[in-house]
Amino acid sequence: MPILTIDQVMHAYVTNQSAVLALDHLSLTVERGEFLSFLGPSGCGKTTLLSIIAGLIEPTKGRVLIEGKEAKSMRQTIGYMLQHDYLFPWKTIEQNVTLGLKLTGKYSEKTRKQTLALLHQIGLRDVDDRYPYELSGGMRQRAALVRTLATDPKILLLDEPFSALDYQTKLKLEDLVWETLKQYRKTALLVTHDIGEAIAMSDRIVLFTARPGKIKRIVSVPDSLKACTPFQARQHPDFSPIFQMIWKELESIEQT
């Protein structure tokens, strides 16, 4: 059974004055451990789709199933990481990264130790008792990743998590997130505007049409690139041809 099934999802935002059709009859299945990226023009409904998968909004039509169950009932199995880290400034890093465990009733000495071990493993040592304002942007996003992984989610939703970082930090974090997710065999969906990032990190890339968002095409990343870390993939000879192809495809979407 696929870990995620999106079945004929349609979503309209309705207000007093207007109705905006954000997604139109979208279907997709995702296998356990896959890494998918969503690329498409601004406003095509990528964040709307993530919110539906997270069970935060109900689609107007269609169904989203996680391991065969309605997404709404599976909210606690989803980890959501956003562009801004949303760490609580008045809580220490340890309190921040263990917050999800406490909210979901999974907090114990064992899960606390596992979470702090992950924090240390991804290079955040000696920060447990520090506050978010004492950390750099890249360090804060790493802490946000640990907080997201702490509750052992089945699916990670990553909504432009690297876009507020400088380029060097972004490349380092891409590698770190990719390696961590592969190690724990996590399923991940990444929303990005960066074609290179999508190719470097993903197994498949979903290209969306302009609003209302539909799937225009799904591109499978060649095995040669999937075997590399994101940083290595960007240097690989197979990287440029697929970049050009996706670039042209997005250009044609934006012109229609």
Ligand X SMILES: Nc1ncnc2c1ncn2[C@@H]1O[C@H](COP(=O)(O)OP(=O)(O)OP(=O)(O)O)[C@@H](O)[C@H]1O
Q: Which residues bind ligand X (CB under 6 A)?
A: 13, 20, 22, 42-48, 211
HSE-up of residue 118 (Cα within 13 Å, Cβ side): 27
Question: Token pair 């451990």 is at which residue?
Answer: 33
Strands 4-14 vs 19-30: parallel, antiparallel or unpaired? antiparallel
Q: What is the closest distance, in whole angstroms, from the C-beta atom of residue 234 to ligand X in the complex?
A: 22
Q: What is the closest distance, in whole angstroms, from the C-beta atom of residue 248 to ligand X in the complex?
A: 20
For 201, 224, 236, 237, the CA distances from 230, given in Å and listed in that order, are: 5, 12, 10, 13
Q: What is the closest distance, in whole angstroms, from the C-beta atom of residue 4 to ligand X in the complex?
A: 18
Give 16's contacts (C-beta < 8 A, 6+ positions apart).
none
Nearer to ligand X, 51 or 180 (CB): 51
Q: What is the closest distance, in whole angstroms, from the C-beta atom of residue 48 to ligand X in the complex?
A: 3
Comparing C-alpha atoms, which of 200, 194, 138 is closest to residue 166?
Answer: 138
Q: What is the closest distance, in whole angstroms, from the C-beta atom of residue 28 to ligand X in the complex?
A: 15
Nearer to ligand X, 53 or 97 (CB): 53
Alpha carbon 95 to chain centroid, angstroms: 23
Nearer to ligand X, 22 or 71 (CB): 22
Nearer to ligand X, 13 or 88 (CB): 13
Nearer to ligand X, 48 or 111 (CB): 48
> What CA–CA distance (Å, rounded) separates 49 from 45?
6
Check: CB of residue 22 under 8 Å from CB of residue 11.
yes
* DSSP conformational letter for 52: H
Give the 3-state secondary structure of residue 182. Answer: helix
Q: What is the closest distance, in whole angstroms, from the C-beta atom of residue 110 to ligand X in the complex?
A: 37
Nearer to ligand X, 92 or 163 (CB): 163
